[in-house]
Amino acid sequence: MTTSALRRQVKNIVHNYSEAEIKVREATSNDPWGPPSSLMSEIADLTFNTVAFAEVMGMLWRRLNDSGKNWRHV
């Protein structure tokens, strides 16, 4: 496990992110490789639930507004 993955897990616990938010954070991470298609499919399936949809879109909006060193989130 890389240090960035470990740091991401700690942030997920500290900020009490939901499962949907954690998956979006993983898909939009700064890692140099793209997210696996299985993860993208899980996120797409979550959007059929109204509560999870709001969480996914809220996290996506937050990630799209990142700038500076977090340009890869976009």
> What pTM was computed for the model?
0.85
Say if residue 73's pLDDT is above 80.
no
Question: Among candidates 52, 61, 51, which has minimal Cα distance to 20?
Answer: 52
Task: Count how many residues are written for the chain.
Answer: 74
Say if residue 69's pLDDT is above 90.
no
Say if residue 4's pLDDT is above 80.
no
Say if residue 71's pLDDT is above 90.
no
- Whole-number pLDDT of residue 44: 96
Question: Among candidates 26, 1, 32, which has minimal Cα distance to 11?
Answer: 26
Domain that includes residue 14, residue range: 3-73
Q: What percent of the chain has pLDDT over 70?
A: 93
Please count the structural domains in the chain: 1
The enclosing domain of 33 has a CATH number of 1.25.40.90
